[in-house]
Structure formats: structure tokens, C-alpha cells
Amino acid sequence: MVKQDSLLTKIAFLGISFVLTSAYAINGALPQMTEALHISSTEAQVLATTPSITVTIFVLLSSFIAAKLGDKNTIILGVTLVGFAGIVPFFTDSYVIILISRTVLGAGFGIFNSLAVSMIAVMYNGKTRSSMLGYRAAAEQVGQAILTLLAGLLLVFGWHATFLVYLIAFPILFLFMKRVPDTSEMTPLNTEETASENVEEVTHISPLVLVLTLFAAFLVIDYMAIQLSFPFMATDLKGDGYNTSPILSAMLIAATIGGVTYGWFVAKFGRFTLQIGLVLMAISNFLVAFSHGNFAMLIAGVLLIGFPLQLISPFIFNQLPKLAPLARQSLVTSVILIGFNVGVFVEPMVVAAFAKIIGHGGGSAAASAYATIPYLGSVLLIIAIITIITNRKQEK
């Protein structure tokens, strides 16, 4: 019987998160594909965005699939689909076949997306759970950065070769199958931190799950407002030829640090980790919003935003064992992930609508961002204050 607390088991489990955000790793090949396949740039972009559609659909379906197959077998199915569907474009020049393969790729990601989070709640407790949630978030960021870089290097051999990055799914799958136990086979973790939790058994799903879902959507709206607006802001200051990619890549590094240190923050600050993250996100907003003409201040705000987000998102997932039975963790995790995905999708519309409401509609993307981002930062501070008051009431 494999003990889930071993280092190799943890590495094997985190491996599935390493590949989870690789859907966009091949985006650098889109210009070459446009020319080679004789398709429009819009059709090429569809190849990049199609996985996100099926990810959302199968995130919803994953809990039902897991109920039939079991958690481990569902993850095995998802990673297998990622590996095989991911490399299909290496062998074909058919746009239709590539589009279908990208659709299946997204389904694979969606099938195990929520389980990559919810199984941590089942497998671990206390400080170990907090650390694993942080490491999982960091694994996503590191995986996205490394696989995007690797795909770029493979592009030297032609656009087909970039899709070979998905071969990484197979060694990850092998290690996962060998080292990660099924939930029915896990060894009880009789540790002091488990005994000290003293959490009452949860018998139903709390309405707070819906609140956290809306909160997750807002966080991503704020994050994407800065990430997507930064290239336009930088262009206004530095000219049309300015390359923002290195700075956007540095955002991923900062986010990775946030995930890696999440366990330490929880051990040091406990429930106030949430407020620390919210205040740091608000500071990032204000640095960006009031950076007019100050490029260093703008970069500081942009680099900061990823760090606190990776403190808050694991914190959200870490609350779910208190808000739903262990048997429903996959479902509630899926709901939270839908919140994050919906936030990404509606961000441009939300920012544009709010800019119009405050009298900045119809302007440039940079102007709209400068106008709306400080308001988003203010909302973050208000949420921080409300949660501090709530915490104090719970302690009395």
C-alpha cells in the first residue's frame, strides 16, 4: 500500500498540475500554422482558444465521471487524453483533425482539473494540505512557463514539432499511476496536525461555496484587467515596438513564488493570509492605476499582481473541506473553477461596461484600464475589511 505522504507520491501528484496549463504552450506556432495550413488568423486563434471551451464543459462533468470511475481512474483518463490528443497535430496537416484534437485536449484537461485540487483535500490534512495547495498552484505556473519555452525551442524544427511538448503527459501519467494511491487504498495520516484540526464532520454543501465562486470570478477579472491591459499601457509609454513578453513571463515567476510560499504564509498568519493577499492585490492595482508616465511603477504593479493571487486561490480551495463533505469535494471544486474560468471570459466585457458607466467608454484600452483599475483595487480593500470584521465576530 502506497503512503500518500511520501515525497515521491507528492511529486507524482503535482505532476498532473504541471501539464494542466499547457493548452496555450503552442501559441508561438500559430503564425507558421496560418501560413502552412492556408487558414486565416482567426481560424488559427480558434485552435488556441478551443480547449478552454471544452475545459469548462468537462470541469462540470468531471465529478459525475469520477463517481463512476473513481478519482484516480478519472485523472488517468484525462491525462491519457491530453497525451494522445496533444500530439495528433504532429502527424497531420488537416485543420479539421487538428481542431478536433484540440477539442479533445481541452476535454482531457477538464476531466482532471478539479480533481487536481479536490484530491488534495482527501489525501492531506492541516499544514500538509495547505502546502500542497500552494505547491500545486506553483506547479501550474512553472509548467506553463517551461512548456511554453520548450515549445518555442521546438518551433525551430517546424510548427508540427511544437506539439511534441504534450509527450510530457506520458511520463507524468506513468509516475502518477505507480505512486499515487486510489482514495480507497490510502493510508490514514495519523499526524499531530491531523489530530489538532478538530473539524466537525461536514454533512452538506454550504451556501458559502457560491460566495467563494463569485469571489473567484472577481479576483480573475482584476488579475486579467492588469495582465491584458499592460501591453497597451507599455506601448503608450515606450512605443509600438516594445516587447512586453519578458515582463509578462516574470509575472509567472512572481506567481510561482506566491504558490510556493503559501504554506508558510498560512503557518505564520493563518486566516489573515486572505487579507494579506487582498491588500497586496489592491496595492498592485493602485501602482498600475497611478503610474501615468512612470514605467518603473507600472512594471512594479504588474509584477506584483500574480504573487497575491497565488496566495488567495489556494486559500479558497483550502476552505472547501469545511464547506462540503469529502465525497462532494470534486463537485464544489469544479464550481469554484467555473468561477475562475467565467471571470477570465467576462473580464473584457466587465471592464468595458464599467468604463462606460464611469464616463470612459469608447477610449483606448489603456485609458479604460487606468480609469477602472483603481475602483477594482478599492473593492479588494473593502472585501479585506469585511473579512477582517467577520473573522473577529467568529472569534468571539
pLDDT value for 11: 92
Q: So what's the pLDDT on residue 363?
A: 67
Indicate the burial class of 374 (C-beta count within 10 angstroms; 0-12, 13-18, 19 or more). middle
Are 59 and 339 spatial neighbours (Cβ–Cβ below 8 Å)?
A: no
Task: Provide the CATH topology of domain 204-395.
Answer: Growth Hormone; Chain: A; (1.20.1250)
Residue whose C-alpha cell is 479558497: 316
Which residues have C-beta within 8 Å of that of residue 9, sequence separation ≥ 6?
2, 3, 179, 180, 181
Query: In angstroms, rounded to a whole number, what is the distance separating the alpha carbons of residues 340 and 269?
Result: 25
* pLDDT above 80 for 195: no
The most distant pair of C-alpha atoms in the chain lies apart, rounded to whole Å, by 67
Nearest to 259 by CA among 117, 113, 132: 132
Whole-prediction pTM: 0.78
Q: Mutual orientation of helices 126-154 and 245-269 as an angle, nearest 10°?
A: 170
**What mean pLDDT do residues 9-22 have?**
91
For 53-107, write each residue's pLDDT tens digit. 888 889 889 888 988 998 899 999 999 999 999 999 999 999 999 999 999 999 9
Q: Residue 20 corresponds to which cell in the numbers above?
A: 494542466
Which residues lie below 8 Å from residue 22, measured CB to CB, with a gap of 6+?
82, 86, 143, 144, 147, 165, 166, 168
How far is Cα of residue 358 from the mean position of the Cα atoms in its chain? 30
Mean pLDDT of the chain: 86
CA distance 286 to 377: 7
For cell 515596438, what's the residue?
241
- The predicted pLDDT at position 304 comes to 94
Q: Which residue has the cell 477594482?
A: 376
* Model pLDDT, residue 51: 87
Can 1-184 and 204-395 be said to share one CATH topology?
Answer: yes
Tens-place pLDDT, residues 315-344: 998 898 889 887 788 889 889 988 888 887
The pLDDT tens digits for 354-382 are 888 888 766 677 788 888 999 999 999 99
Q: Supply 44's cell numbers.
A: 488559427
379/368 Cα distance (integer angstroms): 17
H or E element, residue 11: helix 7-18
pLDDT at 138 over 50: yes
The answer to which of 159-168, 239-248, 249-258 has the lowest mean pLDDT is: 239-248
Give per-residue pLDDT as tens, 273-319.
Answer: 999 999 999 999 999 999 988 999 999 999 999 899 999 999 998 89
Report the share of the chain in percent with pLDDT over 70. 92
Closest by alpha carbon to 47, among 123, 101, 116, 117? 101
State residue 186's pLDDT score: 60
Domain ranges of the chain: 1-184, 204-395
- We find that the CATH architecture of domain 1-184 is Up-down Bundle (1.20)
pLDDT for res 58:
92
**pLDDT value for 160:** 95
Decide if pLDDT at 159 tops 90: yes
d(CA 186, CA 171): 23
Q: Please tell me the predicted confidence (pLDDT) of residue 213.
A: 94
pLDDT band at 393 (very low <50, low <70, confident <90, very high): low
d(CA 282, CA 284): 5
Q: Residue 208: CB partners within 8 Å, gap ≥ 6? A: 319, 323
